[in-house]
């Protein structure tokens, strides 16, 4: 039973790799399954060596001259590649925003601080913004007091990445996990 495959996708797509008979150029630089260089050999000979080993010939560097091909188990390679991609996808650091008001109540503030703490424990950055409306713009000092309180509450589990700055009608500060 031969595990020898033909190309699964068109070779002109950038994210695909040519395998086995889809590799038309000759000669090619070949690397065997153990990572040893076999040198520059004709494509037919490389294909035969791959068949003898029960593996596939995969083009890994098509832009090189001559192209570099590797003898490997293509199915296993694709599986590991997909697993790696999925693993990196499971958690990408995100920015979470928490909006505050200058006259926020004590309990509401502590609830938002605890939410921020859980985001920081999950390795997310947290952007705090104190939003001013109407006459509140005259009392930006209240907003800075709220922001300093939040920073003080979270200093044990985070570091201040960007200090509180006024941007339009809001004060913004960014905190990153320690």
Claim to verify: residue 105 and residue 161 sit in the same structural domain: yes
The per-residue pLDDT for 16 is 73
Claim to verify: residue 142 and residue 160 sit in the same structural domain: yes
Q: Which of 69, 86, 103 is the last residue of a domain?
A: 86
Structural domain boundaries, residue 137: 95-177
CATH of the domain at 77: 3.10.20.80
Claim to verify: residue 27 and residue 64 sit in the same structural domain: yes
8 band by pLDDT with thresholds 50, 70 and 90: very low
138 to 8, 134, 141, 143, 173: CA distances (angstroms) = 65, 9, 9, 10, 20
Asked whether the whole model's pTM tops 0.85, one would answer no
Which of 24, 12, 9, 23 shows the shortest CA–CA distance to 71?
23
12 within domain boundaries: no
The per-residue pLDDT for 131 is 95
Secondary structure letter of residue 166 according to DSSP: E
Buried b (16+ CB within 10 A) or exposed e, 108-145: ebeebbeebbebbeeebbbbbbbebeeebeeebebbbe
The per-residue pLDDT for 83 is 84
Claim to verify: residue 27 and residue 79 sit in the same structural domain: yes
Encode pLDDT of 86-139 as tens digits: 766 555 668 999 999 999 999 999 999 999 999 999 999 999 999 999 999 999
Encode pLDDT of 40-98 as tens digits: 999 999 999 999 999 999 999 999 899 999 999 999 988 888 888 776 655 566 899 99
Domains held by the chain: number = 2
């Amino acid at each position: 039973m031969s595990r020898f495959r033909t190309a699964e996708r068109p070779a002109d797509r950038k994210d695909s790799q040519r395998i086995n008979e889809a590799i038309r150029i000759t000669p090619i630089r070949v690397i065997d399954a153990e990572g040893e260089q076999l040198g520059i050999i004709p494509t037919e000979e490389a294909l035969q060596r791959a068949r003898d080993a029960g593996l596939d010939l995969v083009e890994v560097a098509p832009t090189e001259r001559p192209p570099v091909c590797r003898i490997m188990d293509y199915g296993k390679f694709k599986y590991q590649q997909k697993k790696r991609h999925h693993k990196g996808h499971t958690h990408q650091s995100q920015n979470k925003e928490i909006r505050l008001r200058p006259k926020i109540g004590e309990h509401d503030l502590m609830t938002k601080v605890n939410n921020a703490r859980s985001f920081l424990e999950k390795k997310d950055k947290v952007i705090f913004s104190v939003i001013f409306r109407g006459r509140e713009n005259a009392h930006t000092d209240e907003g800075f007091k709220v922001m300093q309180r939040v920073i003080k509450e979270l200093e044990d589990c985070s570091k201040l990445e960007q200090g509180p700055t006024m941007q339009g009608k809001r004060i913004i500060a960014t905190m990153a996990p320690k």
